[in-house]
């Protein structure tokens, strides 16, 4: 475990979510027969206590030179509904360089690297899955907006925060629809800070796309309501308006996006673009 002071700058190296040590998915893994994501951490932050907010400022994210995307790895209801045959797995290998990833079928995508998992352990004792995102402490959020230049704010769940991160993605669409993105190792430069008086008490972020709030639930309607309620809280604080007025102002400018559908818990994020709403 590494212990740091608030305001310290860190360079964090993480393997891909599977923990591959070589340059392909057949290479040895750091932890064979692992039951969750391969993460780097925990990172303890001196002075961090439940009730505070941890600010994770992402200064740069550099993906490794290769990645993969796997579809039909699981037999689940969504794959069956999509007509994807269980067992007919497709595995794409991506070569990453010069701002893009090129796969073995000859298709290219632009890079927009971010970390799928940034989070803290639950306060309850015992083992906890890395798969679902959580309102308390974050985790497998998989939000494509969390690129370099973003700051993610997470409610601290345990003393010293014990932050873990990883699950690098070179590129991903909203939804992460097959369950994987361009999965890759990542080198991340970040700064950790403590915030005693955040604008809202739930997980949120400032990003190049704008202000972002989150909702997580097994029910898409509930996840959407959580994300929308949080952005209304933020708008009330920003603009000094009542709740209903905030909702009216949100409707022309706030985007609700499905963050991911892959992790047994729906993720929804609300985006208030910078400059979309101004006073004249």
Report d(CA 183, CA 108) in Å as an integer: 15
Is there a contact between 144 and 173 (Cβ–Cβ < 8 Å)? yes
Compute the mean pLDDT over every residue in the chain, rounded to the nearest whole number.
95
Q: So what's the pLDDT on residue 126? A: 87
- Cβ proximity of 151 and 58 under 8 Å: yes
Do 88 and 174 have their domain in common? yes
Task: Report CA Rg, the chain.
Answer: 19
93 domain-assigned: yes
The answer on pLDDT for 81 being more than 90 is: no
pLDDT in tens, 96-116: 999 999 999 999 999 999 999
Number of domains in the chain: 2
User: Are both 71 and 146 inside the same structural domain?
Assistant: yes
- pLDDT at residue 251 is higher than 90: yes
- Enclosing domain of residue 70: 2-195
9 Cβ neighbours under 8 A, 6+ residues apart: 59, 189, 190, 191
Answering whether pTM is above 0.75, one says: yes
Q: Between these two residues, 179 and 76, which has the higher pLDDT value?
A: 179
Asked whether the beta carbons of 46 and 18 are under 8 A apart, the reply is no
Residue 120 lies inside a defined structural domain of this protein: yes
Instruction: Please give the share of the chain, as a percent, with pLDDT higher than 90.
Output: 86
Give Cβ neighbours of residue 219 (< 8 Å, ≥ 6 apart): 266
Domain edge (last residue) among 163, 195, 227: 195
Task: Please indicate, yes or no, if residue 70 is contained in any of the structural domains.
Answer: yes
The verdict on 176 and 244 lying in the same domain is no
What span, in angstroms and rounded, lies between the C-alpha atoms of 68 and 92?
5
* CA dist 233 → 169, 223, 244, 256 (Å): 30, 16, 11, 15
Q: How does pLDDT run across 142-182, given as a tens digit for each residue?
A: 999 999 999 999 999 999 999 999 999 999 999 999 999 99
Same domain assignment for residues 177 and 210:
no
| Of 164, 195, 226, the domain-final residue | 195
Same domain, 152 and 67: yes
Q: Which of the listed residues 144, 171, 195 is the one where a domain comes to its end?
A: 195
Burial 5-44 (b: 16+ CB within 10 A, else e): ebeeebebebbbbbbbeeeebeeebeeeeeeebbbbbbbb
Residues 131 and 264 occupy one common structural domain: no
Buried b / exposed e along 188-207 (16+ C-beta atoms within 10 A)? bebbbbbeeebebebbbbbb
State the pairing for strand pair 39-45/2-4: parallel
């Amino acid at each position: 475990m590494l212990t740091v002071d608030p305001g310290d700058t860190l360079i964090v190296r993480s393997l891909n979510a599977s923990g591959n040590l070589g340059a392909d998915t057949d290479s040895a893994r750091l932890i064979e027969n692992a039951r969750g994501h391969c993460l780097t951490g925990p990172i303890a932050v001196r002075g961090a206590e439940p009730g505070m907010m941890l600010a994770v400022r992402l200064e740069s994210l550099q993906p490794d030179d290769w990645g993969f995307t796997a579809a039909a790895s699981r037999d689940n209801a969504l794959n069956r509904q999509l007509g994807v045959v269980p067992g007919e797995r497709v595995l794409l290998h991506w070569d990453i360089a010069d701002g893009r990833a090129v796969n073995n079928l000859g298709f290219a995508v632009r890079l927009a690297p971010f970390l799928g998992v940034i989070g803290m352990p639950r306060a309850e004792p015992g083992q906890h899955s890395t798969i679902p995102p959580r309102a308390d402490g974050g985790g497998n959020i998989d939000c494509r907006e969390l690129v370099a230049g973003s700051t993610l704010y997470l409610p601290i769940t345990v003393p010293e925060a014990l932050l873990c991160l990883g699950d690098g993605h070179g590129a991903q669409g909203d939804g992460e629809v097959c369950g994987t993105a361009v999965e890759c190792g990542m080198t991340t430069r970040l700064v950790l800070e403590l915030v005693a008086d955040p604008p809202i008490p739930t997980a949120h972020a400032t990003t190049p796309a704008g202000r972002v709030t989150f909702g997580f639930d097994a029910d898409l309607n509930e996840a959407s309501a959580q994300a929308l309620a949080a952005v209304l809280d933020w708008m009330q604080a920003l603009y000094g308006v009542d709740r209903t007025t905030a909702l009216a102002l949100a409707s022309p400018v706030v985007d609700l996006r499905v963050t991911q559908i892959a992790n047994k818990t729906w993720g929804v994020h609300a985006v208030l673009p910078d400059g979309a709403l101004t006073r004249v």
